[in-house]
Amino acid sequence: MPHHYTPEQVAQRAQELGPWFHNISLLGVATAPGHFLGDYPSSKWRNFENAIPQDLRGMTVLDVGCNGGFYSIEMKRRGADRVLGIDHDEGYLRQAQFAAEVLGLDIAFEQMSVYEVPRLNERFDLVLFMGVFYHLRYPLLALDILRQHAVKDWFVFQSMLRGSRTVPAIAQDYPFSEKAVFDHPGFPKMHFVEHSYSNDWTNWWIPNRACAEAVLRSAGFTIQSVPEQEVFVCRCDQAATLHPLPY
């Protein structure tokens, strides 16, 4: 039986579950009205919502690092048969569960790290990997795991990007004596954050744009569109050579 909340009860519970990173409207109650990025992630979602299928009926979705559930909710609203949101943070999962309950949406949430995804033993038509990559110490491991164990078709990737936005042509190979190419600002690069960035010690590796594109291709994806500066809508490249996982 769905629980029916009054707006006052929603406001009370949302506050108890806070602070929220996702601003979601629950019976008119905003969960993160003072977000430092504005109406987030709605403002981001508006820029790429048309780049992924409008009608997800018959499809399954995995939302990796689902946080307060914003994208899981949007995927369920598009009619996906099954939506599973995973996050390693149980506080965020409690928020997501509450948001889905208030909205009367049947979404599964599970506490799990991206590195544990193989134990789901399930492939999803669409996998969202938004805002997690740069929070990982082993970002390529996560990409390879998702490509090889979870993605059936669509892969929607978002990363914070820093450094040059130019994407120079990179040769297949260079002689050992070639050094200058590495100093090109657009050469694929990840910036390693030893201590903290933006007051957040969980920011570890921040790629430039060329690097984000290169790691996606290298993991076995083709980039279909870049509808928003940081968002890459990909499909599985069925012809790609997949790199063996280290275990």
Ligand X SMILES: C[S@@+](CC[C@H](N)C(=O)[O-])C[C@H]1O[C@@H](n2cnc3c(N)ncnc32)[C@H](O)[C@@H]1O
Is residue 39 at the binding interface for ligand X, with CB under 6 A as the rule?
Answer: no
Using CB under 6 A, which of the segments 30-38, 124-132, 149-157, 180-188 binds ligand X?
A: 124-132
209-219 helix and 139-149 helix, angle to the nearest 10 degrees: 40
Q: Out of 76, 135, 147, 209, which residue is the one contacting ligand X (CB under 6 A)? A: 135
Q: How far is the CB of 137 from ligand X (least distance, A)?
A: 9
Q: Out of 132, 143, 219, 234, which residue is the one contacting ligand X (CB under 6 A)? A: 132
Q: How far is the CB of 54 from ligand X (least distance, A)?
A: 20
Judged by beta carbon, residue 131 or residue 163, the one nearer ligand X is 131
Identify residues 138-167 at the interface with ligand X (CB under 6 A).
158
The single-letter code of the amino acid at 198 is: S
Is residue 87 at the binding interface for ligand X, with CB under 6 A as the rule?
Answer: yes
Using CB under 6 A, which of the segments 29-37, 73-81, 83-91, 225-233 binds ligand X?
A: 83-91
Using CB under 6 A, which of the segments 8-16, 87-95, 191-199, 205-213 binds ligand X?
A: 87-95
Identify residues 1-30 at the interface with ligand X (CB under 6 A).
21
Q: Out of 83, 99, 131, 143, which residue is the one contacting ligand X (CB under 6 A)? A: 131
Peptide bond just before 244 cis, omega within 30 deg: no
Is residue 203 at the binding interface for ligand X, with CB under 6 A as the rule?
Answer: no
CA geometry: angle 46, 208, 152, nearest 5 deg: 60
Q: Out of 92, 133, 155, 157, which residue is the one contacting ligand X (CB under 6 A)? A: 92
Is residue 67 at the binding interface for ligand X, with CB under 6 A as the rule?
Answer: yes
Q: Which helix (H) or strand (E) holds 45?
A: helix 42-48
Encode burial over 185-213: b for 16+ CB neighbours within 10 A, e otherwise: ebbbbbbebeeebeeeeebbbbbbbbbbb
Long-range contacts (CB closer than 8 Å, 24 or more residues apart) made by 107-112: 107/69, 107/72, 107/73, 107/76, 107/83, 108/82, 108/83, 108/84, 109/66, 109/69, 109/72, 109/84, 109/85, 110/84, 110/85, 110/86, 111/86, 111/87, 112/86, 112/87, 112/88
Q: How far is the CB of 37 from ligand X (least distance, A)?
A: 10
Q: Out of 113, 164, 222, 224, which residue is the one contacting ligand X (CB under 6 A)? A: 113
CA 146 from centroid of its chain's CA atoms: 11
User: Which parts of this chain interact with ligand X (CB under 6 A)?
Assistant: 21, 41, 65, 67, 87-89, 92, 113-114, 130-132, 135-136, 158
